Amino acid sequence: MTSLKTDLTFAVVLLLLFATSCQEKKSKKDNLEKTVQAQVDSIDGTVAVAFYNLSQPKDSLFINVDEKFHAASTMKVPVMIELFKQASEGKLNLEDSILLKNEFKSIVDGSLYSMDINDDSDDVIYSQIGTQVALRDLMHSMVTISSNLATNVLIELVDAKKTTATMRDLGAHNIEVLRGVEDQKAYDLGLSNSTTARDLMIIMKAIADNSAGTQEDSDAMIAILKDQQHKDVIPKYLPKEIQVAHKTGSITGVHHDAGIVYLPDGRAYVLVLLSKNLKDFDKGTDQLAILSKTIYDYVRSN
């Protein structure tokens, strides 16, 4: 009888500990949601947040994730995925070179337009116009320093429609890759690349779990994303040892960052922060960076 009572007491204690643990986790998640929502509400603009814990898939947070945003330079990630896909299919070789030109066709009427070095984040590449440049080098510049000239050469090569179709195959149903960068005639008609936070989360998750390509290709994509040179949103307030594989994007009143955050203990999570109609771009950018730190603190403490 004593043994039975001891066993029952032990079982009750375990149940109480389990219930307490669950309650603490729920309380932490509730606090996170309240804190993030308050931070989002404090930003003078429209913001979307998609948080997905790769180590605990049920742990996620969605705010305005189906709101449509101008994709800005985040569309360069789908182009990178399409490059690896076509390479795996034998349609191109990333080690091959291509003639670097600065002449592109508008999707509106086929009229020609060129990129302006003063409007690009990569001025070095302009000295290479008229020469042969390796596809892999162009892809690296497209992602890490957000070269618009490199982007237009590559998107013309792989085709915007095929890129969007590949995103659909990955489960990203709303992202639209319509054209290259600085196609003013298309922009004036409202024909711009667009995305949602949910779709970018799906795309980043696909890279993280190797469903966007082979293990080798996914590792290569992550390495490129980790070499990102624009670090003023997701990584800004994180400890230096935290690795972030991400892609930013910005135009007037718009600042985005989408990536995979890797903790030293092996855990990882996807975070997408999108914004538009920012009244104060610099302040809004900093508020997004603080929001990223809030998510990191939550994951680290669990």
CATH numbers and ranges of domains, the chain: 46-301 (3.40.710.10)
Query: CA-to-CA distance for 80 and 88, rounded, in angstroms?
Result: 13
**Nearest alpha-carbon partner for 274 in 48, 38, 39, 64:** 48
Looking at residues 129-140, what average pLDDT do you find? 97
Does the pTM surpass 0.85? The reply is yes
Q: Which two tokens mark 92?
A: 């191109």
Residue pair 51/60 in contact (Cβ under 8 Å)? The answer is yes
pLDDT tens digits, 151-193: 999 999 999 999 999 999 999 999 999 999 989 999 999 999 9
56: left (phi over 0), alpha (psi -120 to 50) or beta: beta
Torsion sign across C-alpha atoms 164, 168, 172, 173: positive
pLDDT tens digits, 84-95: 999 999 999 999
Query: CA-to-CA distance for 55 and 267, rounded, in angstroms?
Result: 6
**Nearest alpha-carbon partner for 154 in 139, 144, 141:** 139
Q: Report the amino acid identity of residue 211.
A: S
Q: What is the pLDDT confidence band of residue 28, given thresholds at 50, 70 and 90?
A: confident
pLDDT tens digits, 213-265: 999 999 999 999 999 999 999 999 999 999 999 999 999 999 999 999 999 99
18, 146, 231, 256 from 281: Cα distances, Å: 45, 19, 15, 11
